[in-house]
């Protein structure tokens, strides 16, 4: 029997034929780089001696603070706070692992040996690693010229928040902390860079496993002083996973390009796992406070939200995105008419942060859904009932912050979750366990899943009065190029830069269905070359853009091709092209039943365009774009529809805690997703499962921790724990409902992040429920046996 892979991408991956950055050798004579990193969390660089390293046999170039500071401009930031960020330390190192110098040699062994000969004279400085401590008066300043550790501080108010709180029957308050954690992709960062001096000026060409957003391309080019038109970036079809983390690779692209300039040859750098865990990127840690004004019947009538993100030593672009990505859906699944927000980003002596699967949503929903459990406790309502009473019910729904929820049926999804997940059964298990002296808890989380980010939300970091007229930012634009060759094979060229989600599989099938072709007659190309692949600054595989945006652009592109093919068929069939249908690999006249093959109709356009009807298109290579009108810039009142589409996830977790060992075990996970039209049932189930495991990592295992002295204590897999197959052997109940989006041609919404946002807090709610008889409060993650042990002892000093 012939095995047919579920995805087009699978056969190459399972047979070892994937094309990753480290497999590529695009340029002859490429040298290898090693990076010298700071061992100090905060230290003034008094001097750097590169003499011995440069004299080492086989070394081609060594660059340090002097060379980097003279050649590279600080990256443009989203705020005006003077906290300049360069790809390496120049005068002060601000986190352990920050690059200080780059050594280039003929191979990695020589480069690493020579890197040990770089002598750096450090003057250690005091450190601050705690988010809240960084805000205190007198805290150690990372950037003295700023006079503060607060990189951005904005307040917003929508509706009569103060009045509602003043008359509320209950005011429920909670303070929570969400940890930094990553996604530890299988392949670490990889860059190949070449600097060339040409008659028109310098040019840079790079290969990297970068996943976007492509807003970083002009940022990197500007740092090097190279026009975007002369900055060429290639991304291979396979990048070994990213989940957001590899958007932070661009400083290394800049470093390697400069190293190539000094070496006079192409330079390759491949990050090892220790470097990755030490200094690549992670999701932002967050300290937050939530308050709810609640009526006696459990209705949440207003919210106060105070968010403080720990962004590490620098506000590295695209931060402070984590604060604002979920601005439009900050009230979650609930019909809350008024909300006040304070959003701050604080710098600390930790590695800079960035995107991580579900970014912004993980942090938001941990606070909001823990708060909903607290509302249930205050009002005496069941945790499911208090959520039900507050759900949004009518669509489209405009949130007070400007989000436009396009479609949904939240009560139906909740009902399905409770029924199929066996809510009553889990409560019965809880009673039995408690009767035996064991701990058992049930946790819920309901989250709105935003997809198709409107980059206009970055403008919220700047007060409306300071935004320059005519310089607003907005959009969720995507572009796809489609063509038909001489044999009638259709190619769709994507700029979506997949991380392994199966973009080629879905794009082929969407195009084939739209053109009435067998899928074998369509091919998809996902390699990125910024010199030839259509892209926009919003391109990239972040924020679940593919299903709502890229597929919409595929539809637009192939529909234009269809118009041309109909024109060719009209010549062969002798009829008007307007009424022709594309189906079963043919073009058919429904009135007569006459037909011709798709490839023959396309052949007319290729070989005999002069025969086409007057005014008929003769283009068999065209582009289609999708520019949703709902993705507009923030208003003067700071309202914004921060995403195009809003899906929904209802999740339930049952946990059992052994009374002797305190081992926390997932008993059951039930999840219901509404992602609009399901484009591929196999792929969406894979996304759900993957997001669940990512969420479990943050819920129970993963955390980048630092000692009070600023030293990382989880920079290897001995200390940074990830879930394995053994930890995912829980009972899973998964189902879907479908509320197609009216805003996308196929009705599709994203589904790549949902459970990574909901599982951590559902898990926390379950553990809190289990430990409630012991009087334990859960306000942070991760939660594993050692944490439970400390909580039961009442010892919080370890946090």
Helix H, strand E, coil C: the string for 246-303 is HHHHHHHHHHHHHHHHHHCCCEEEECCHHHHHHHCCCECEEEEEEEEEECCCCCEEEE
Contact 658, 420 (CB under 8 A): no
Q: Which helix (H) or strand (E) holds 692?
A: helix 681-696
Q: Pseudo-torsion of CA 297, 327, 685, 737, nearest 10°?
A: 40
**Is the distance from CB of 515 to CB of 582 less than 8 angstroms?**
yes
Bridge partners, 642 (sequence order) = none
Beta bridge partners of 780: 177
Q: Count of CB atoms within 10 A of residue 197's CB?
A: 10
Low-confidence ranges of the chain (pLDDT < 70): 1-5, 796-799
- Helix or strand holding residue 443 (H, E): strand 439-453
Q: How far apart are CA 322 and CA 760, in angstroms?
A: 17
C-alpha span between 361 and 344 (Å, rounded): 16
The confidence score (pLDDT) of residue 190 equals 97
**What is the pLDDT at residue 796?**
59
Write out the two tokens for 770. 């289990």
What was the pLDDT predicted at 3? 42
CB of 497 closer than 8 Å to CB of 529: no
Distance CA 752, CA 107 (A): 39
Report the sign of the C-alpha dihedral through residues 385, 389, 390, 395, in that order: positive
Q: Rounded to an integer, what distance in angstroms lies between the CA atom of residue 672 and that of residue 655?
A: 18
Residues 6+ positions from 198 with CB-CB distance below 8 Å:
none
DSSP state of 635: P
pLDDT, tens only, 383-396: 999 999 999 999 99
* pLDDT of res. 7: 86
**What pTM did the predictor assign?**
0.95
Q: How far is CA 254 from the centre of its chain?
A: 22
CB atoms near residue 654 (< 10 Å): 29
Q: Which of 253, 252, 329, 247 is nearest to 282 (CA)?
A: 247
Burial of 121 (0-12, 13-18, 19+ CB in 10 A): exposed
* CA–CA separation, 61 and 59 (whole Å): 6
Token output for 661: 């060992």
Parallel, antiparallel, or unpaired: how do β-strands 119-124 and 664-674 relate?
unpaired
Q: What is the DSSP letter of 613?
A: P
């Amino acid at each position: 029997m012939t095995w047919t892979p579920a995805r087009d991408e699978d056969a190459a991956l399972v047979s070892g034929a994937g094309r990753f950055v480290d497999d590529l050798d695009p340029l002859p004579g490429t040298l290898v780089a090693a990076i010298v990193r700071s061992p100090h969390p905060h230290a003034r660089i008094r001097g750097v001696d590169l003499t011995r390293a440069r004299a080492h046999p086989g070394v081609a170039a060594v660059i340090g603070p002097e060379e980097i500071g003279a050649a590279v401009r600080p990256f443009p930031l989203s705020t005006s706070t003077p906290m300049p960020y360069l790809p390496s330390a120049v005068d002060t190192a601000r986190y352990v692992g920050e690059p200080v110098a780059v050594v280039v040699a003929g191979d990695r062994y020589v480069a690493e040996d020579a890197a040990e000969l770089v002598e750096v004279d450090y003057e250690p400085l005091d450190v601050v690693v705690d988010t809240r401590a960084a805000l205190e008066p007198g805290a150690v300043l990372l950037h003295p010229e700023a006079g503060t550790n607060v990189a951005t501080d904005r307040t917003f108010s929508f509706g009569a928040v103060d009045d509602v709180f003043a008359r509320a029957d209950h005011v429920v308050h909670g303070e929570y902390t969400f940890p930094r954690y990553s996604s530890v992709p299988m392949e670490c960062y990889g860059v190949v860079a070449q600097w060339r001096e040409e008659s028109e000026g310098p040019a840079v060409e790079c290969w990297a496993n970068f996943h976007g957003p492509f807003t970083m391309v002009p940022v990197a080019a500007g740092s090097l002083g190279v026009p975007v038109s002369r900055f060429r970036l290639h991304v291979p079809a396979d990048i070994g996973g990213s989940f957001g983390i590899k958007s932070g690779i661009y400083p290394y692209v800049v470093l390697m390009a400069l190293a190539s300039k000094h070496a006079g040859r192409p330079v390759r750098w491949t990050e090892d796992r220790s470097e990755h865990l030490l200094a690549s990127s992670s999701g932002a840690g967050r300290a937050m406070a939530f308050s709810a004004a609640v009526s006696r019947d459990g209705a949440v009538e207003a919210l106060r939200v105070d968010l403080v993100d720990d962004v590490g030593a620098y506000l590295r672009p695209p931060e402070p995105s984590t604060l604002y990505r979920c601005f439009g859906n900050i009230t979650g699944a609930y019909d809350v008419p008024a909300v006040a927000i304070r959003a701050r980003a604080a710098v600390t002596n930790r590695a800079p942060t960035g995107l991580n699967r579900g970014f912004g949503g993980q942090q938001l929903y941990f606070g909001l859904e823990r708060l909903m459990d607290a509302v249930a406790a205050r009002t005496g309502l069941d945790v499911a009932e208090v959520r039900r009473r507050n759900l949004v019910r009518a669509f489209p729904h405009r949130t007070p912050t400007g989000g436009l929820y396009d479609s949904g049926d939240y009560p139906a999804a909740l009902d399905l979750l409770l029924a199929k997940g066996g809510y009553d059964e889990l409560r019965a298990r809880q009673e039995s366990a408690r009767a035996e002296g064991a701990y058992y808890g049930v946790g819920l989380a309901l989250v709105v899943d935003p997809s198709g980010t409107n980059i206009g939300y970055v403008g919220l970091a700047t007060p409306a009065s300071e935004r320059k007229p005519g310089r607003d930012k907005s959009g969720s634009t995507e572009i796809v190029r489609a063509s038909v060759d001489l044999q009638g094979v259709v190619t769709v060229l994507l700029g979506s830069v997949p991380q392994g989600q199966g973009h080629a599989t879905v794009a082929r099938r969407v195009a084939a269905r739209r053109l009435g072709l067998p899928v074998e007659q369509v091919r998809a190309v996902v390699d990125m070359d910024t010199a030839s692949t259509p892209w926009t600054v919003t391109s990239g595989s972040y924020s679940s853009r593919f299903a709502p945006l890229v597929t919409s652009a595929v539809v637009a592109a192939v529909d234009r091709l269809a118009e041309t093919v109909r024109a060719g068929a009209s010549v062969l069939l002798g009829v008007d092209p307007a009424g022709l249908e594309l189906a079963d690999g043919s073009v058919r006249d429904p009135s007569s039943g006459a037909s011709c093959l798709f490839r023959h109709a396309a052949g007319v356009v290729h070989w005999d365009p002069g025969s086409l009807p007057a005014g008929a298109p003769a283009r068999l290579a065209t582009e289609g774009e999708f520019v949703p009108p709902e993705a507009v810039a923030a208003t003067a009142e700071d309202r914004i529809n921060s995403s195009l589409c809003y899906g929904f996830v209802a999740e339930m977790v049952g946990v059992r805690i052994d009374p002797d060992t305190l081992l926390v075990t997932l008993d059951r996970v039930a999840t219901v997703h509404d992602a609009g039209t399901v484009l591929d049932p196999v792929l969406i189930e894979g996304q759900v499962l993957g997001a669940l495991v990512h969420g479990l990592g943050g819920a129970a295992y993963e955390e980048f921790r630092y000692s009070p002295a600023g030293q990382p204590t989880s920079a290897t897999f001995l200390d940074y724990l990830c879930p394995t197959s053994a930890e995912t052997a829980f009972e899973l109940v998964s189902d879907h409902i479908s509320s197609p989006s009216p805003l996308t041609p196929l009705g599709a919404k994203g589904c790549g992040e949902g459970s990574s946002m909901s599982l951590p807090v559902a898990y926390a709610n379950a553990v809190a429920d289990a430990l409630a008889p012991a009087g334990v409060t859960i306000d942070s993650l991760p939660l594993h046996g050692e944490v439970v042990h400390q909580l039961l002892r009442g010892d919080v000093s370890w946090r």
